[in-house]
């Protein structure tokens, strides 16, 4: 586990509303110079949708206009064998993320990034990817044992390739596994045993050598997530401030191991954003942290072992609102660090 203490430095979850990759990178580097994150740009292209972005090279993957699915009629055996061989060799070179699918990543890799503490990337998690991607009969591929095993290996290689690319900029890389569908576990719509969920996530995490985190932007069983070998737990603090405090013992153990909590305190909703100020966001964050103080965790420790982020991606905002969210993020971090860290 990483022993880095980020001291509530700011970083991003991933997406921005820009269609120009260079402009998106300039915004990231302006507001988040210490821990910049490459921007996902879903408004630029359907291929930068978080589920499509990591699909290149998966056996049978097919796109028709704005639909993506696995076409079983193609015959998947040879592609599955190639994937298995690359996995056994730990060779991600055939599973690169191309500029066509991630203009933001490639613009970021060619940007002038000045001595960051760390560089952040992200990959869609196996549970969310496997539930979203279906076969041609609209059946989620995660329910197919062979394809579920394949998708975890595929995303592991994608994460490994990305990490190697980011390390060209900084020796310290952070990769978040983004798992929005974890909010659906245990519902009538998703029937996955926790053993399978953990196994799939562990497989992808094993492909990341640097700092690794899991992000979920809703309510989920955080005790399940905290069983994983992760350094950072990222959650939507703005909309779900009390969900993590339901697991005080698990959070305390996580922090004692050197873990970091990424507090997603900046709203990614435009109406909410215009109502907030730095003072109100600071108060909201302190209210989210207070239950942990009552459990014996020091406020300063939670700040020291914290990151600040938006509640989730910012792609749904206007360009101006996204800039405002990043500015709030930078200003709130500066306020906290002046008071508790510097």
Predicted TM-score (pTM) of this structure: 0.95
pLDDT in the model for residue 2 = 63
For the chain, list residues with pLDDT below 50: none
Q: Where are the beta strands (DSSP E) in 50-146?
A: 61-64, 67-70, 119-124, 134-135
Q: Please, what CATH class does the domain formed by 9-52+97-123+172-196+203-340 belong to?
A: alpha beta
pLDDT digits (tens, 9 = 90+) for 30-72: 999 999 999 999 999 999 999 999 999 999 999 998 899 999 9
Which residues 6+ apart lie within 8 Å of 184 measured at CB? 131, 190
In degrees to the nearest 10, what's the CA dihedral of 88, 92, 93, 99?
160
**Cα 139 to Cα 137: distance, rounded to the nearest angstrom:** 6
**Cα 286 to Cα 264: distance, rounded to the nearest angstrom:** 13
pLDDT in the model for residue 65 = 87
- Altogether, the residues listed in the chain come to a count of 342
Which residues 6+ apart lie within 8 Å of 289 measured at CB? 263, 299, 302
pLDDT in the model for residue 294 = 87
**Three-state helix/strand/coil letters over 125-158:** CHHHHHHHCEECCCCEHHHCHHHHHHHHHHHHHH
**Cα 41 to Cα 48: distance, rounded to the nearest angstrom:** 6
Q: How many Cα atoms occupy the beta-carbon half-sphere of 35 within 13 Å?
A: 29
**Cα 316 to Cα 105: distance, rounded to the nearest angstrom:** 19
**Cα 52 to Cα 331: distance, rounded to the nearest angstrom:** 33
**Cα 15 to Cα 17: distance, rounded to the nearest angstrom:** 7
pLDDT digits (tens, 9 = 90+) for 12-30: 999 999 999 999 999 999 9
Distances in whole angstroms, Cα of residue 71 to Cα of each of 132, 135, 137, 229: 15, 6, 9, 34
**Cα 51 to Cα 230: distance, rounded to the nearest angstrom:** 22
Supply angle C-alpha 18, 22, 28, rounded to 5.
70
Unique residue bearing structure tokens 């700011």:
10
Q: Which one-letter DSSP state was computed for residue 8? A: T
pLDDT in the model for residue 313 = 97
CA 332 to chain centre: 21
Query: Across all residues in the chain, what is the average pLDDT?
Result: 95
In degrees to the nearest 10, what's the CA dihedral of 112, 48, 238, 180?
-130
And the tokens for 189?
Answer: 């719509």
pLDDT in the model for residue 264 = 98
């Amino acid at each position: 586990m990483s022993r880095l203490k980020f001291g509530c430095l700011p970083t991003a979850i991933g997406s921005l509303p820009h269609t120009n990759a260079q402009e998106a990178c300039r915004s990231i580097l302006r507001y988040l110079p210490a821990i910049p994150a490459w921007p996902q740009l879903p408004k630029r292209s359907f291929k930068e949708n978080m589920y499509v972005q990591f699909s290149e090279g998966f056996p049978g993957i097919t796109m028709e206009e704005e639909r993506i699915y696995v076409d079983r009629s193609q015959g998947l055996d040879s592609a599955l064998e190639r994937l298995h061989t690359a996995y056994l060799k730990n060779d991600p070179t055939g599973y690169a993320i191309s500029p066509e699918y991630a203009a933001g990543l490639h613009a970021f890799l060619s940007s002038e990034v000045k001595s960051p503490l760390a560089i952040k990337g992200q990959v869609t998690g196996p549970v969310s990817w496997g539930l979203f991607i279906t076969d041609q009969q609209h059946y989620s591929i995660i329910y197919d044992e062979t394809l579920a095993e394949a998708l975890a290996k595929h995303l592991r290689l994608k994460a490994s390739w990305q990490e190697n690319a980011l390390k060209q900029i900084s020796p310290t890389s952070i990769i978040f596994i983004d798992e929005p569908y974890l909010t659906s576990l245990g519902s009538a719509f998703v029937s996955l045993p926790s053993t399978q969920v953990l196994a799939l996530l562990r497989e992808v995490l094993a492909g990341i050598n640097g700092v690794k985190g899991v992000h979920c932007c809703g309510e989920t069983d955080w005790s399940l997530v905290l069983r994983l070998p992760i350094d950072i737990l990222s959650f939507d603090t703005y909309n779900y401030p009390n969900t993590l405090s339901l697991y005080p013992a698990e959070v305390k153990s996580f922090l004692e191991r050197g873990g970091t909590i990424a507090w997603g305190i900046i709203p990614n909703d435009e109406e909410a954003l215009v109502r907030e100020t730095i003072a109100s966001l600071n108060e909201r964050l302190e209210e989210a942290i207070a239950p942990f103080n009552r459990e014996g965790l020091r406020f300063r420790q939670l700040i020291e072992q914290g990151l600040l982020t938006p509640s989730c991606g910012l792609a749904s905002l206007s360009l101006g609102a996204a800039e405002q969210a990043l500015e709030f993020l930078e200003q709130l971090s500066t306020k906290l660090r002046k008071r508790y860290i510097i």
